[in-house]
Structure 1
Amino acid sequence: MGSGGPAGAPRRGVLFDVDGTLVDSAYVHTLAWWHAFRMHGHDVPMAAIHRCVGMGGDRLVDTLLPENRDRNADSEIMASHAAVFALSWPSLRPLDGARELLAACHAQGIAVALASSARDQDLAATRRALDSDEFIHAATSANDAKASKPAPDILVAALETVGVLATDAVYVGDSVWDMKAAAALGMPAIGVTCGGTSAAELRDAGAAEIFDGPREILENLQHSAIGRLLTRA
Structure 2
Amino acid sequence: MVEAVLFDVDGTLVDTTFLHAVTWWEAFRQQGHAVAMAEVHRAVGMGSDKLLDQVLPDGRDRGADDAMRDAHTALYAQYWGRLQAFDGAAELLRACKARGKRVVLASSAAEPEMQALRAALDAEDAIDEATSASEVGQSKPAPDLVELALERAGAPAGRAVFVGDTAWDVEAAGRVGVPCVGVLTGGWARGELEAAGAVAVYDDPRALLANLDESPLH
TM-score normalised by structure 2 residue count: 0.98
Q: Residue deviations 1:88-147, cap 9 Å, x none?
A: 111100001000000000101100000112111211111000011110000002111101
Q: 1:166 aligns with which of 142, 153, 157?
A: 157
Count of aligned residue pairs for this structure pair = 218
The question of whether the paired residues in 1 share the 8 Å contact of 2:2 and 2:161 is answered with no
The question of whether the paired residues in 2 share the 8 Å contact of 1:14 and 1:111 is answered with yes
CA distance in 1 between counterparts of 2:25 and 2:98 reads 40
- Give the secondary-structure state (helix, strand or coil) at the position aligned to 2:168: helix
Match of 2:202 in 1: 211
Residue pairs, 1:20-169, within 5 angstroms: 20-169=11-160
Q: 2:168 aligns with which of 143, 159, 177?
A: 177
- Kindly state the Cα deviation for residue 11 of structure 1 after the two structures are TM-superposed: 7.4
CA distance in 1 between counterparts of 2:190 and 2:112 reads 30
Q: Unaligned 5+ residue runs, structure 2? A: none
CA distance in 1 between counterparts of 2:108 and 2:32 reads 25
CA distance in 2 between counterparts of 1:20 and 1:225 reads 20
- Give the secondary-structure state (helix, strand or coil) at the position aligned to 1:30: helix
CA distance in 2 between counterparts of 1:58 and 1:187 reads 24
- Kindly state the Cα deviation for residue 162 of structure 1 after the two structures are TM-superposed: 1.9
Match of 1:5 in 2: none
CA distance in 1 between counterparts of 2:199 and 2:132 reads 24
CA distance in 1 between counterparts of 2:111 and 2:28 reads 22
The question of whether the paired residues in 1 share the 8 Å contact of 2:40 and 2:55 is answered with yes
CA distance in 1 between counterparts of 2:180 and 2:17 reads 19
CA distance in 2 between counterparts of 1:96 and 1:171 reads 19
1:195 to 2:216 alignment: no
CA distance in 2 between counterparts of 1:214 and 1:106 reads 15
1:15 to 2:6 alignment: yes
TM-score normalised by structure 1 residue count: 0.92
The question of whether the paired residues in 2 share the 8 Å contact of 1:24 and 1:92 is answered with yes
- Kindly state the Cα deviation for residue 205 of structure 1 after the two structures are TM-superposed: 0.9
- Give the secondary-structure state (helix, strand or coil) at the position aligned to 2:117: helix
CA distance in 1 between counterparts of 2:90 and 2:49 reads 30
One-letter code aligned to 2:187: G
The question of whether the paired residues in 2 share the 8 Å contact of 1:11 and 1:163 is answered with no
Q: Unaligned 5+ residue runs, structure 1? A: 1-9, 228-233
The question of whether the paired residues in 2 share the 8 Å contact of 1:145 and 1:154 is answered with yes
